[in-house]
């Protein structure tokens, strides 16, 4: 009964948040960005060197006026690393009672696009992979990198895509939020899966837009309780099985 009341209480609270994304600046219309991996706050995109562009290489934003363009696998120039990483922290402290129930899940989606070989020179190979991830952490935001590299975060979900050119394609996932979660880290990247450029341009036209993360609605209905007649039939069935067992194994 207590569990049913808890689920019903969450059902009354969460409809206010299930349709509003937990992401701040999901479409990159606000060009605020923290270069590096210590943003100092939530609700801010941070990571490797990127640009915010409108129409670029013949590709227009999926929605709004601006989209994210991946540029480098570091905070400056090309290197041997293979991913251009962009992150955002989501503070869940406002949902602590709901998180503690262990009943919450989230669903994330993002759209990605890229140019094709027709815009590349004869010596250029266009990379095709995008990745989209979510990580659940306990503790303070300052422990993010320590937990990430030690893989001591509570839960994670990852999807990847070998993309097609000139087509907005969606990546999506859903993930249950562990009861001890204090914050989430959402991550999207373009990956050098075809050629690792060590100098010059690493990503010749790779974009992301419309990144969302929402609570999934909770079904407040409890599991069905068998009718007394069903339980009675089940009891007769068990007696019948017991009788068969005696017949087969009495010798």
Nearest 5°: phi and psi at 6?
A: -65, -45
Total domain count, the chain: 1
User: Model pTM?
Assistant: 0.80
Domain assignment present for residue 181? The answer is yes
Residue 251 burial (CB count, 10 A): 4
pLDDT at residue 219 in the model: 57
Q: H helices of 30-121, where?
A: 96-100
Lateral strand order in the sheet of 67-70: 50-53, 67-70, 206-215, 105-114, 169-176
Q: CA gyration radius for the chain?
A: 24
CB 193 within 8 A of CB 127: yes
pLDDT value of position 5:
42
Q: Does 242 reside within a domain?
A: no
Does 197 map to a domain? yes
In which domain, by residue range, is 120 found? Answer: 33-217
Which residues in the chain land under pLDDT 50? 1-18, 230-234, 236-251
CA distances from 67 to 9, 21, 62, 146 (A): 38, 17, 8, 30
Residues 6+ apart with CB under 8 A from 58: 115, 119, 166
Residue 82 domain-assigned?
Answer: yes
Q: What is the pLDDT of residues 147-193, one digit of tens each?
A: 999 999 999 999 999 999 999 999 999 999 999 999 999 999 999 99
Q: Is residue 245 part of a domain?
A: no
Is residue 18 assigned to a domain? no
Query: Residue 24 domain-assigned?
Result: no
Helices (H), the chain: 2-13, 96-100, 144-150, 228-249
For residue 13, the model assigns a pLDDT of 46
In a domain? residue 175: yes
Tokens of 224: 């069905």
**What is the domain-level CATH number for residue 61?**
2.60.120.260
Say what the pLDDT of residue 205 is: 96
Residue partners of 239: CB distance under 8 A and separation at least 6: none
Angle, vertex CA 86, rays to CA 198 and CA 25, nearest 5: 145
Distance between CA atoms of residues 72 and 191, nearest Å: 10
């Amino acid at each position: 009964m207590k569990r049913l009341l808890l689920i019903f209480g969450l059902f009354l609270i969460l409809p206010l948040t299930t349709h509003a994304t937990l992401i701040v600046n999901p479409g990159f219309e606000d060009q605020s960005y923290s270069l590096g991996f210590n943003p100092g706050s939530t609700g801010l995109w941070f990571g490797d060197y990127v640009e915010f562009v409108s129409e670029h290489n013949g590709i227009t934003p999926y929605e709004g006026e601006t989209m994210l363009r991946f540029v480098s696998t570091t905070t400056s120039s090309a290197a041997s690393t293979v991913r251009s990483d962009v992150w955002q922290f989501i503070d869940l402290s406002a949902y602590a009672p709901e998180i503690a129930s262990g009943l919450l899940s989230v669903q994330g989606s993002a759209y990605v696009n890229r140019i094709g070989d027709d815009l590349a020179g004869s010596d250029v190979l266009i990379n095709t992979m995008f990745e989209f991830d979510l990580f659940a952490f306990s503790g303070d935001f300052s422990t993010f990198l320590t937990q990430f590299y030690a893989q001591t975060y509570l839960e994670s979900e990852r999807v990847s895509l070998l993309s097609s050119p000139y087509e907005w394609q969606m990546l999506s996932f859903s993930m249950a939020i562990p009861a001890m979660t204090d914050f989430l880290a959402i991550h999207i990247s373009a990956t050098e899966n075809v050629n690792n450029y060590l100098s010059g341009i690493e990503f010749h036209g790779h974009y992301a837009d419309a990144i969302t993360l929402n609570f999934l609605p909770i079904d407040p209905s409890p599991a069905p309780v068998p009718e007394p007649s069903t339980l009675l039939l089940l009891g007769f069935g068990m007696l019948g099985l017991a009788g068969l067992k005696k017949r087969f194994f009495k010798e």
